[in-house]
């Protein structure tokens, strides 16, 4: 494979490492959330760290907060569990049941984010991608299929019109 074909192909995903991180995410989520197995999960991050207690993020100076985001289609609930990039710890979950939120929509600018306003006092913006390279800031996990399922759920069954 030549230099340019490697350059444009992009980095390869380590599927073994991704699967191990997905398993750790599931364990942390299930520790935090009652009936955790009834939720599908993805990794996300937020730049709105003031909504959560990130004091345990190893003295990180970043404004990025790592999240394990779960959704349950039957109850139309999204649950957000803060974590750290190495998945060594988690915070307390925050629940966003669809009937109790003020507004939810997908924001395309300046970043592609899922925005939830639980009330008039604040919001959470959830950013999610298939995977991000910087393992000091983000959990390394491949989640293309899961992200497509979450996007479909959010847009078609959760977002307000």
pLDDT in tens, 37-87: 999 999 999 875 554 444 334 344 445 688 999 999 999 999 999 998 899
Give the pair of three-digit tokens for residue 57: 């993020």
Residue range 119-143: mean pLDDT, rounded:
86
Q: Which CATH class is domain 13-158?
A: mainly beta
- Supply φ then ψ for residue 12, to 5 degrees: -85, 145
H/E run at residue 148: helix 144-153
Please name the residue that has the structure tokens 């494979």.
1
CB 61 within 8 A of CB 49: no
- % the chain with pLDDT above 70: 82
Residue 11 has pLDDT above 70, yes or no: no
Ordered by start, the domain boundaries in the chain are 13-158
pLDDT of residue 101: 95
Whole-structure pTM value? 0.84
pLDDT, tens digit (0-9, with 9 covering 90-100), for 29-38: 999 999 999 9
pLDDT of residue 144: 92
H/E run at residue 150: helix 144-153
pLDDT band at residue 161 under the 50/70/90 scheme: confident
* Of 84, 77, 4, 6, the residue nearest 40 (C-alpha): 77
Residue 88 has pLDDT above 70, yes or no: yes
d(CA 140, CA 115): 23
Average pLDDT, the chain: 84
H/E run at residue 127: strand 124-127
Give the pair of three-digit tokens for residue 48: 């709105």
- Supply φ then ψ for residue 99, to 5 degrees: -65, -20
H/E run at residue 144: helix 144-153
pLDDT of residue 135: 85
């Amino acid at each position: 494979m030549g230099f340019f074909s490697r350059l444009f192909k992009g980095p390869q995903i380590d599927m073994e490492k991704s699967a191990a991180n997905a398993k750790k995410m599931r364990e942390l989520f299930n520790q935090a959330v009652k009936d955790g197995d009834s939720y599908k999960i993805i990794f996300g991050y937020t730049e709105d760290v003031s909504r959560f207690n990130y004091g345990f993020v190893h003295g990180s100076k970043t404004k990025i907060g790592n999240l394990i985001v779960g959704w349950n289609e039957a109850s139309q609930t999204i649950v957000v569990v803060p974590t750290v990039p190495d998945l060594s710890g988690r915070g307390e979950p925050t629940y966003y049941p669809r009937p109790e939120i003020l507004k939810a929509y997908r924001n395309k600018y300046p970043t592609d984010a899922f925005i939830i306003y639980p009330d008039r006092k604040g919001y959470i913006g959830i950013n999610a991608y298939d995977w991000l390279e910087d393992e000091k800031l983000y959990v390394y996990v491949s989640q293309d299929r899961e992200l497509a399922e979450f996007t479909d759920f959010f847009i078609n069954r959760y977002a307000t019109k």
